Amino acid sequence: MSVPEMRETRPLIDSVPGPFVQPAAGEVEEVTERTALLIKKESGATPIKIHNNKDVHFRNISQKDFWILFGTIIFGNTVAFFDSTLMASAHPNITSYFNASNSASWLSTVFYLTSTVSQPLYGRVSDTIGRRPVYIFAEVMFMLSTIWCALAGDIGSFIAARAVCGMGAGGVMSMSNIITSDIVKIEYRGIYQSYYNVAYAVGNGLGAAFGGMLCDTMGWRWAFGIQVPFIAVFVVASWFATPDNLGPNLAQSQGRGLREAFKSFDARGSVVLSVTVTCLILGINLGGNILSWSHPFVIVSLILAAVGGCLMVPISRRAERPVLPLHLLAKSPNANLMWASFCFSLCLNSVLFNVPLFLQTVRQTSATVSGMYLVIPLVGVALTAIGTGWWIAMTRRMMPPLIIGQVLLVIGVIGTTCLNQHLPVWAMLLLVPWVNIGQGFYFPTCTIATLAMNSLDDQAIVVSTLALFRALGAIHGVAISSWILQNMLPFYLERNVKADDPAMKEKIVQAVRKSVDAIRSLDPVHKAQVVHSYALSMRVTFAASFIFAAAVIVLTWPVKLPKLQGQDEKDFEEEQEHQDTVDYGNLDGYDTEDDGDGGDLEAPHPFKAMSLSRETTRTRYSVETVRRLSRESSRQALQLGRKASFDTSF
């Protein structure tokens, strides 16, 4: 039977005689689209076994190169997390130096704003021109803006530097996750995701602990200047460690120039999304905090955010490669996990933001001591994330950690609602960490599940969209909990604070609302009344978080995650979707015999699957498909096309 035309430079069956040459130890023979799929068996050829390297964690990279690159990534993320939390303890020194205490909130707001807005853009741009240039660009921006922060001459210049720094740090963190998805097989993704939690804990801990100390001992400029050598090392290491062949790289793979490749880039959606998220963050952060909710700026910001959100729907539908794909937000199970992650992040940050405030107002602890209470949650989330990653890698089951994360979230919300001024320290330490521990189970599983449900070419946009939703959830958690507290506190202060002179009562109420330090200067009677009012207000605030914990359960409950499919199986199915059905007829004269163990195949042409690029993966699976099809009539035990998505066991 004739073989249909296959657009190959050489035929499917190579009839060129010649001795078979065995590669040297450790050498991998390159297999490309121009290589014959089968080579005629010669007498001098010694068949070798093609093994399925299921124990190999990495893709498109050697083990040595992986650890160099991944170590660089974790180091860079630790520095970025350090910088992101540095401002919590450094901003009083900076605003005092510039005599601009009223601008303190902008120092953190602009950083968080630009880092959040830029994340989806990094994903699509890196799909177009490759991961390496975008990653290096973000690192250089991070380094130069940090130098700018250290040299800023006025508060306006410093705020602008922090805005650029947020774009750089956001790009570093976003691209790190994207690159990790490129080089780690999906079934092992959770293991390496847990390293990010360790970097998060270490970076945040160092930033919160040493930021104030650096400002006090060396000056606030050196708090930024001391980061520059570390970021410079990070940039140089990334330059040499990051491969050029990561990601779709549409400009190169499709043979188009940058200008031609960017024609498919969703520029209109990128602009609208950036404006929408910017207006939303500004309205949520400023409303009820710096400005009243009725202030025109807040109202206009929220209206523009709503309009922009509506415009994103038709823009995304028409775009060839939308910056915010609608199927991630509207079709289950992607949409369920995206919105559940938003609600989980909202609930998590609502609790974390208010626990230190509870400790300082109700328990009357110092800022340093209240920060120490968060050490156990940070350690807890790192340890549980590591355990979750290993669990998924060993069992391929994602539902158990997803369920455990939801349960622990509810337990954590109930636990914080039970906090009061009379609890012993050990009880406080026992009740606080559960929300974070639930995060360690839920977030890594959610990340792996969304990656597994989407194609390899969509990995970047999936990672960046998930990061965007978690960031927006964090912003809403702080804003909504602050709004609840600011509305409940006046009510309870008015009811509980007693004073013979109404002017004295009003003075006390206004003083304790503006500063927690004012509570310590009150007389014992009024101090007890104010503390009791804060305790009741905080209880309502924590209890309100239960609404969003329940939303997480409602959104996640319908999701039925299958047993995780291996990356090799996933790649095979993706390639099968693009292959035409070809009848290769009878392959007489070629070794297609099974070796009897149902797994390994005999073949005279050696190649190793673990070293093939994405292009050569197509050829490898074509070879295996031809051999398996040839023995289909005599051996039905081996079935092609079995999809792990049909395995609904948990």
CA distance to 250, 354, 485, 520, 600, per residue, from 532 (Å): 61, 16, 14, 14, 71
Ranges in the chain, pLDDT < 50: 1-52, 580-650
The sign one gets for the Cα dihedral 500, 503, 505, 508 is negative
Alpha carbon 392 to chain centroid, angstroms: 17
Same domain as 500, residue 381: yes
649 found inside a domain = no
Same domain as 371, residue 434: yes
pLDDT of residue 321: 80
Residue 496: helix, strand or coil by DSSP?
A: helix
Segment holding 170, helix H or strand E = helix 155-183
Same domain as 424, residue 300: no
C-alpha–C-alpha distance, residues 620 and 615, integer Å: 9
C-alpha–C-alpha distance, residues 496 and 488, integer Å: 12
Same domain as 476, residue 374: yes
Q: What is the dihedral of CA 116, 128, 264, 272, to 10 degrees?
A: 10
438 found inside a domain = yes
pLDDT in tens, 257-268: 667 666 777 788
645 found inside a domain = no
Same domain as 294, residue 197: no
pLDDT of residue 261: 65
Same domain as 475, residue 375: yes
pLDDT of residue 573: 58
The sign one gets for the Cα dihedral 513, 514, 515, 518 is negative
Same domain as 339, residue 315: no
Amino acid (1-letter code) at residue 35: T
C-alpha–C-alpha distance, residues 71 and 241, integer Å: 10
Range of the domain at 299: 266-320
Domain boundary, last residue among 260, 280, 304: 260
C-alpha–C-alpha distance, residues 275 and 279, integer Å: 6
Domain boundary, last residue among 280, 295, 320: 320
pLDDT in tens, 70-116: 999 999 999 988 888 787 667 777 877 887 766 666 777 788 888 88
Cβ neighbours of 366 (radius 10 Å): 10
pLDDT of residue 572: 56
Alpha carbon 388 to chain centroid, angstroms: 15
Same domain as 341, residue 468: yes
594 found inside a domain = no
pLDDT of residue 72: 94
C-alpha–C-alpha distance, residues 167 and 169, integer Å: 6
Same domain as 91, residue 220: yes
Alpha carbon 495 to chain centroid, angstroms: 45
pLDDT of residue 142: 94
Name the domain count of the chain.
3
609 found inside a domain = no
Strand 13-14 relative to strand 38-39, pairing: parallel
Same domain as 499, residue 431: yes
CATH code of 78's domain: 1.20.1250.20
C-alpha–C-alpha distance, residues 143 and 32, integer Å: 40
- Kindly give, in sequence order, each residue whose CB lies less than 8 Å from that of residue 322, ignoring residues fewer than 6 positions away: 266, 269, 315, 316
Same domain as 518, residue 436: yes
pLDDT of residue 303: 94
Amino acid (1-letter code) at residue 195: Y
598 found inside a domain = no
DSSP code of residue 500 = S
Pair of tokens at residue 101: 């205490």
- Kindly give, in sequence order, each residue whose CB lies less than 8 Å from that of residue 133, ignoring residues fewer than 6 positions away: none
314 found inside a domain = yes
pLDDT of residue 138: 94
Same domain as 427, residue 361: yes
418 found inside a domain = yes
pLDDT of residue 257: 66
pLDDT of residue 172: 92
pLDDT in tens, 370-383: 767 777 887 888 88
Domain boundary, last residue among 534, 566, 598: 566
Amino acid (1-letter code) at residue 93: N
